[in-house]
Structure 1
Amino acid sequence: MNLKAILFHYDNGWDGIAAVLGGLMVGAVLGLVGGIYSLKWIPEEKLKLSILIVLILNVLMIGVVFVRAEMRKVKSMRLERIAVHAPKYLGIYSIHFENNKVIPFYSVNYKDDQQTFRKIDSFAINENSMDLAYAPPYFMPYYSKTDYQVLQFNVKSLHHNYAEVVVNKINGQTSFLSLDDGKFENWTSYLLSGNSIDLISDDVTLYHRPLTYADPQKMLDDDLLKVLSVQEDWIQVKGSSGKIAWLKWYNEDGEVTVRVNYFE
């Protein structure tokens, strides 16, 4: 196995360096033993030249080891910036709350290259309580807090006047809602729209910088996290304690790890 293969065989670059240096040390010991044994047959001038050549080669080998390690680190950093996965859905659809409103669900039909939408079901909002008066049995939106007039769905696709939304977040069932009955927000707008965010995944880590090898940032347990900026799959947040951190707002499976909180 050559030097490059040894280095890149290990997940940790320092493990590769240790393997190579260990091999060099073993080789040096064997070479020293063999050299002592053969000293009496080598002229003094050739012996000095041989020692000098061996020293130069060892220095070069060690230099190659560290250069390769740095190249591997830079490559890893570059790949991390490039390998940005896409979130599973396009964004969020929020219902417009109005008294005594019936909101239809639609299906889409394709005929002669034309899209036609027809009503297939509906849900209704109470006139006084602003709560749901009726909803089909499969109704399980992304987020529902109707007493605060919040009812949201994940958006799978967008059409001219309709949004395909996930009406059951457990089994992924979809239907269509008219854009007249609600508002679509892409993820950037959605994340910046609330008072704070809630972490809805146990796998979220806070960092000092938007890099997974950066030092973790510790926040207080009761910190409210306000989104300051969105950068691809990272968001910058500021805690109520004043600390600033970065976190990934969706994972490699495209699942969003945070939810916007509109309430104080």
Structure 2
Amino acid sequence: MKKLFKPASLLLYLLTILVFFFLGLLYAGLVDAGKGQGLAAGAIVLGYGVFAAFYALLAAIFAAYALRETKVKLLNKILGIALIVVFAIVVLRIVTKAASAANAPPVQQTQKLMGLGMVKPHFFENRCLYFYGQPNLQKSVSDHVPGDSLVFKKTEHGFAISYAPPWFAPAHMKMDYETLFLRMLSIHRDFVEVVVNEYTGQKAYLDRRKVNVTFWPNFLLSVNSVKPLDPQNNPVRIKPLAHASLVTSAYTFLKPVQVAHQWIKVALLDDKLKSAGTGWIMWQKDGELLIAYSLLS
């Protein structure tokens, strides 16, 4: 038993723990063990390192007991070299990943599904909004563990976000106007599925009770103005028909008045916001939004 507590054996334990801890972290990074796990990602990656170090330590204790001291010292030399190499690889991966993230342009989707509408968090009543990955829709929200969260705080002038995940990029966010909207893709009795990053298309689920759900027709009627994305192929017409005549009145802004299936009736306004009549434009077709809109101006 004395062999287990000799300096060479103690050094063997220390080197084994360090080498296999970093090897565990390296393996976790290679297999993307914490990817998409939100708050749990760090604990998952750390767990790989801890378990690798623990089982390797058991093997090291057995080796210290079974091998001669000269063999243990040789193992220490090998582990010392391995520690330098593994540590260098881990540091290099961290530096390379950080540089790639800083220089990479945002990923754009080739086509965006318009979804069902928008949701707005109830940050007046709830200071924390939880994100869920892939919930079991047969179970209630309380049966799930959130992957990450959005935290709000009361300020002198209203509300602000005190914490948001690094990937959070919603459809609209201007907290000085208390404006925060996320595009809704699907709705369930207890959950709503939303886009949490408009650049990458990343999705998450929210507790339906914690947000205000607004379907596209109601949302468009609440915006300040709209305009066709392709005015040549989607001009303002006098009726909600594809073959209807075009509006000839001059206008500067189009203010939503009424939504009817694929069409939206708009008030034609000049630069002084005086009415110049009404017209119709197609606002969606085959699940694709055909108009741009302005919330504030």
The whole-number CA distance in structure 1 between the counterparts of 2:247 and 2:114 is 27
Quick one: distance in 1 between partners of 2:190 and 2:294?
Answer: 25
Query: What RMSD in Å do the two structures reach over aligned CA positions?
Result: 2.7
Structure 1 position 232, deviation (Å): 0.7
In structure 2, give the amino acid aligned to 1:107: G
Aligned to 2:261: 232
Q: Is the alpha carbon distance of 1:108 and 1:100 closer, same or farther for their aligned partners in structure 2, counting shifts above 3 Å? A: closer
State the Cα deviation string for residues 16-66 of structure 1 (Å, max 9, x = none): xxxxxxxxxxxxxxxxxxxxxxxxxxxxxxxxxxxxxxxxxxxxxxxxxxx
1:207 aligns with 2:237: yes
The change in CA–CA distance for 1:199 and 1:254 in structure 2 (over 3 A counts) is same
2:178 corresponds to 1:130: no
Output the amino acid matched with 2:210: D
CA separation of 1:151 and 1:218: change in aligned 2, threshold 3 A: farther
Choose between structure 1 and 2: higher helix proportion. 2
Match of 2:46 in 1: none
1:99-143 Cα shifts (integer Å, max 9, x gaps): 8822211123439x5465321111222320522222112111111
Would you say the 8 A contact 2:230–2:290 is kept in 1?
A: no
Q: Does the CA-based 8 Å contact 1:142-1:154 persist in structure 2?
A: yes
Q: TM-score, normalised by structure 1?
A: 0.58
Question: 1:249 and 2:283 equivalent?
Answer: yes
Pair 1:108–1:150, CA change in 2 (3 A): same
Change (3 A) 1:99 1:91: closer
Contact 1:100 1:126 in 2 (8 A): no
Q: 1:191, 1:260 within 8 Å by CA — same for their partners in 2?
A: no
In structure 1, give the amino acid aligned to 2:192: A
SS in 2 for 1:242: strand
Aligned to 1:258: 292
Partner Cα distance (2:201, 2:120) in 1: 18
TM-superposed CA distance for 1:231, in Å, is 1.1
Give the superposition deviation at 1:170. Answer: 2.1
Q: CA deviation at 1:155?
A: 0.9
User: Aligned partner of 2:202: which letter?
Assistant: Q
Per-residue deviation, residues 202-250 of structure 1 (Å, max 9, x unmatched): 4442111112222222454532x22221111100011233320101112
Structure 2 CA distance for partners of 1:232 and 1:260, relative to 1, 3 Å: farther
**2:243 aligned with 1:217:** no
Task: Provide the residue aligned with 1:120 in structure 2.
Answer: 147
- Relative to the length of structure 2, the TM-score reads 0.52
Please list every run of 5 or more consecutive structure 1 residues that lacks an aligned counterpart in the other structure.
1-86
Moved more, 184-193 or 252-261: 252-261
Matched, 1:168 2:197: yes
Instruction: Give deviations 1:60-106, integer Å, cap 9, x for gaps.
Output: xxxxxxxxxxxxxxxxxxxxxxxxxxx73112111223288222111
> For residue 143 of structure 1, what is the aligned residue in structure 2?
172
Structure 1 counterpart of 2:73: none
- Partners in 1 of 2:209 and 2:287 — Cα distance? 31
Q: Which amino acid aligns with 2:149?
A: S
Greater RCO (Cα-Cα under 8 Å, separation 6 or more): 1
